[in-house]
Every structure is written in structure tokens, then in C-alpha cells.
Structure 1
């Protein structure tokens, strides 16, 4: 007798709860919307911090995202996709913010200040390695390693083909490994 293989990405109880909250919020339940905010705000803020690095206030970017999420939540056809929808909003808002910062730096002639301080700990080294990644790779790596999104979900968040998401993760992983091995060499010498 042949056994069926389990689905590749089964929904967890947490996913189902989020889906229920989205449906209730779409129907006007303010308490469900508030609960969705409490469940997701810290994750979006953490991702905003990782995405923008020192170029933005993560709380401000997360708040901008929530305004857009609330505005577009009624149009979300598949409540199961809230996670990728929320991160896609963050990606678009973060990219807008980064373009604005780059324009301001270009017009002011300020290339930005690079940190020359060595990392103080392993977590600082990881944060520094993440910060050194280009924004699109940084976001893809964060969504994969920290938030647990699949390649398909990352592709949807960043509005790119799945192969491009895979490539971004490959390059991010390679750069993180190189940055962290350079850091470890400096510590042991």
C-alpha cells in the first residue's frame, strides 16, 4: 500500500488563527484587527529594522506599513496569504524609503558613515553581516531565516520569480558566510 506524502507547507494553528483574524477584520471586527496588529507588529518592526538597517526608524516604517495593510486588507482575496501580503507591503514601503534616503544622500553629497567598530559579540557580528547585504538580499534572507517564509512566499513578497528569490538567498548566504568567517578570523588572530 502506497503512503501519501504530507503536504509541503501545512498550515499551523497559528496560520489558521491569523486567517480567521483576517476574515473577521475584513468583515469589520475591530477587535480582530487589533489582535492581528498585536500578533504581527513586532515581526514587521523587526523586519523593517533588518531591511532598512540604520537608514530608517523601524517603528515609523512599520506604522506606514500598517496604514497600507489596513487600507488594502479588504481587497486581500485569500486570507491565507496575509503573511506574504504584510511582508510585501513592508518591502514596497521599505524600498520607497531607501530610494528617498539615497536621493537625499546624493543631493547632499553625504555618502553615509560606515561603522569601523569591530563587532562586540556573535549577535553583533551577525547583525553587521546582515547590514552589509544589499537590501533585496537582506530582506530575502530575513524572511527565510528569521520569519520562515518559503521561496514561493519570498518571491511573492518581493514581486520576483521564484528563481530570483532562490538566487538572492544563495548570494546572501554566501556573503553572510564570508562576512562571519572574516569576523571569526579577526577574533582568533
Structure 2
């Protein structure tokens, strides 16, 4: 299924390069939701994420003719969204730091033990944004280490480190130890 989806996406990229409007629309429908989820993980705010993704699509479509390999599109487009999110975060950093100091921690309720997928999504949501984004791209988006590094605009060693930390934190959360340990 993933192979077929990637092949279809590559075909859309090739057709979109020629200006094929229907291919562009299909590409936005196919990749857009994934980019929005990624931006939401990074920003923690769906409205800001929608703005970031919308602005990123302008850049993506402008840069599409220069993209050398259609297979690179998922990582390349995610990298553009990541950079947009970084700009937003930098602009809001001071305000967020103050808000974080003033806002009490809100505990979320863990889902029922028999719903593994819901428990995993809950656990990923508990991770720091950079770990959640890294683990989601690697496991949920099925990107290779090099693709995750490109998508997040970080060195491959940092990807490995974040994956290791995220796996440990997920293990602790899913085994019930997350209640006693702060996750960083």
C-alpha cells in the first residue's frame, strides 16, 4: 500500500511539474493532510499549522520545477513546512515561554488499554514536539532516516538521537511509567 501511494505521489509530482492543474490538486489532497499533521505536531496549534502549510504550498509549487527527483518530494515538502514552522516558533518564542510559565500543566487522560492505536497516538502526543515529529515521520510516514533528516532540516545523527529518546519515552508512557517521569 505504501509503495503504491509513493508511486502515485511521484507520478503526480511529475505531472504537476508540467502545470497539470488536476495533478496539482490531487497532490495537495494526497500530501496536504500529512503536512498539516506534521505542522500541528511542531506548532501545537492547528490554526497556526494551517497558515504554515498554506504558505508552504505556495513555496512548494513555485519550487516544484526545480525538484530533481520526484521520489524526494515527501521529504522536500515536509522540510519546507518545517522551516515555515520554525519561523513561526521563533516569532512566538518569547510569548510562549511566558505563557508556559503562567499556564498550569494539564494532564490528559490515557485511553483504554485495549485500544493500542489510540494509546500509541496518545503517547506520541505526550512527547516534546521535536520527538513527536521525528517518530511520526519515521514510523507513521515511513520515511527513511535520511528523509527525516531532510524533512526536519537536521543532521541524521540528531534524527537517531531523537528516535532513541522518543522510543524510551514511549516505552515508559505505554508501560505506565510516564506518570512518574517528566519527558524531555
TM-score in terms of structure 1 length: 0.78
Q: Deviations over 1:34-66 (max 9, x none)?
A: 111111112112222223224754333322221
Match of 1:70 among 61, 70, 87: 61
Partner of 1:160: 154
Q: What is the rounded CA distance, in whole Å, between the counterparts of 1:50 and 1:124 in structure 2?
A: 16
Does 1:116 find its partner at 2:107? yes
Aligned residues: 174
Alignment partners' CA distance in 1, 2:132 and 2:179 = 23
> 1:144–1:154: 8 Å Cα contact kept in structure 2?
yes
Classify 1:53/1:110 alpha carbon distance in 2 versus 1 (closer, same or farther; 3 Å): closer
Aligned Cα root-mean-square deviation (Å): 2.6
Structure number, greater radius of gyration: 1
SS in 1 for 2:44: helix
Q: CA deviation at 1:137?
A: 1.7
Residue 76 to residue 113, structure 1, CA distance change in 2 (3 Å): farther
Unaligned runs of 5+ in 1: 1-10
Give the deviation of 1:88 after TM superposition.
0.8
Q: Closer, same or farther in 2 for the Cα pair 1:19/1:124, shift >3 Å?
A: closer
Contact 1:50 1:130 in 2 (8 A): no
Give 1:30-109 correspondences, 5 Å limit. Answer: 30-54=21-45, 57-106=48-97, 109=98
- Give the superposition deviation at 1:84: 0.6
Task: Give the TM-score normalised by the residue count of structure 2.
Answer: 0.80
Partners in 2 of 1:179 and 1:61 — Cα distance? 30
The verdict on how the C-alpha distance between 1:163 and 1:99 changes in structure 2, with shifts beyond 3 A counting, is: same
Q: Partners in 2 of 1:175 and 1:127 — Cα distance? A: 13
Segments of structure 2 that go 5 or more residues without pairing to the other structure are: none
Query: SS state of the match for residue 23, structure 1?
Result: helix
